[in-house]
Chains A and B, each alone.
Chain A
């Protein structure tokens, strides 16, 4: 099955800095790469996703980049704000009928 690792497990930045979280996976058949954000006490929510035919996708201050050869993809957050503080999960998937396997999460803390 898919082996998913996220790094770092915790990340502390100053407001306005950039943050990068990396997700490595083992299944070369993975072709869908989402990132979820879970604020304290709330449900995880999909914030951005990318499919394997695209190398990068941006949505305002967040972006996801994919390196299929090396089997990793990364979440980039620019101009971080305190409301970006949350746990972020990756969940690479081959969309072949199995459920998502999530990474263990990265806790991002943005201090003002």
Chain B
């Protein structure tokens, strides 16, 4: 069974901390994505990547950065966590030909 695995299901961090959210896929997918999900706002795109070391900004990249050093791993970094970054974070991947996304289980991040 193909998988997208997010390293943490729940995370609590303090304001100002540097936070790493990890995502690993075992499908040899070229494309990987980070979304955040908030009630009433749906899924909003933060960053995505089409290849190793490549990254593109999504709709809400402010306060975030990403790293893709290996094809299977796409990390989301909160440089200095703030309370308005409390959210559910979802990672997804898809093959270069496009089509359906496979999502991870999500990381619910609380910043206090």
Contact B98 A49 (CB under 8 A): no
**Interface 0/1 of A16-58, CB less than 8 Å to B:** 0000000000000000101010000011111001000000000
By size class, the interface of chain A is: 20 to 34
Contact A104 B103 (CB under 8 A): no
Contact A43 B105 (CB under 8 A): yes
**B45: CB under 8 A from chain A?**
yes
| A104 and B40 contact, Cβ closer than 8 Å, known pairs A44-B90, A46-B100 | yes
Using Cβ atoms and an 8 Å threshold, which residues of chain B touch A67? none
Contact B42 A99 (CB under 8 A): no
Contact B41 A43 (CB under 8 A): no
Contact B45 A99 (CB under 8 A): yes
Contact A103 B42 (CB under 8 A): yes
Contact B98 A93 (CB under 8 A): yes
The listed residue (B48, B99, B106) touching A99 by CB distance below 8 A is B48
Measured in the bound complex, the distance between the Cα atoms of B106 and A93 in whole Å is 23
The listed residue (A36, A43, A105) touching B106 by CB distance below 8 A is A43
A residues bordering B, Cβ < 8 Å? 32, 34, 36, 42-46, 49, 89, 93, 95, 97, 99-105
B residues bordering A, Cβ < 8 Å? 31, 33, 35, 40-43, 45, 48, 50, 56, 58-59, 90, 98-101, 103-106
